[in-house]
Amino acid sequence: MGNDQEKLVENSRRNWLIATSVVGGVATLIPFVGYLQPSEHAKASGAPVEVDISRLRSGEKMTVNWRGLPVWIVWRTSDDMDSLEKVKPELVDPESKEVFSYPMPEFCNNAYRARIERKDLLVVIGICTHLGCIPLGPYVANSLAALGTYPGFLCPCHGSTYDMSGRVFKNNLASKNLDIPRFMFLSETKIVIGQDEKGES
């Protein structure tokens, strides 16, 4: 085989090797690039969450996930509601003037920390404002020494306590009230967490 033919064969081999390497690289890269794209679950994790509360009963709590946070929906009893005014002298910030992570929605800036049309329904982020543990409860009045004669929530990590509106009691390691997210009612049995009439959180 002459020099010219050898060069031609060598060039053909080189071109074939480059072409297959490029094709193989692209074939490998496409799934990898797809892997880097956020999944539908990841995209949805920051989005508002629609919740069916039709099975929730008075005295019960349900928990839903919003932005990776546990959001409690608590249907407070008449005793729970009666306690809200009584506990005020025992609270750090009874009027919820201090902000923790989310500003208080205007429609919850009242004695119930709830929408007035359903003032018995508490929607609150269940993350202790001390070190981020998840409190337990609700506990009824006189059932827990840490809460004394009031109903409320107890953080198991360091003992911080909250009333039935998520307001922190005095003499705790936590010093801020639990956050209230934006939310709104779609109907009597459905609410959206993370969005209200003014937009998303």
Each residue's pLDDT tens digit, 70-87: 999 999 999 999 999 999
Say if residue 177 is exposed, middle or buried (CB neighbours under 10 Å; 0-12, 13-18, 19+). buried
Q: What does the pLDDT profile of the chain (201 residues) look like in tens digits?
A: 565 555 554 555 555 544 444 444 434 444 433 433 434 454 455 799 999 999 999 999 999 999 999 999 999 999 999 999 999 999 999 999 999 999 999 999 998 999 999 999 999 999 999 999 999 999 999 999 999 999 999 999 999 999 999 999 999 999 999 999 999 999 999 999 999 988 776
Identify whether the C-beta of residue 155 lies closer than 8 Å to the C-beta of residue 130.
yes
Q: Where are the alpha helices (DSSP H) in 53-156?
A: 78-86
Give the chain's mean pLDDT.
85
Residue 199: what pLDDT?
77
pLDDT for 46 equals 77
pTM of the model: 0.76
Q: How far apart are CA 15 and CA 68, in angstroms?
A: 51
Could you tell me which of 199, 200, 197, 161 has the C-alpha nearest to residue 178?
A: 161
Per-residue CA distances from 172 to 76, 112, 149 (Å):
24, 22, 17
Determine the pLDDT at residue 127.
97
What is the model's pLDDT at position 122? 98
Task: Specify the residue for token string 């990898």.
Answer: 32
CA dihedral 13, 18, 19, 25 (to 10 degrees): 140
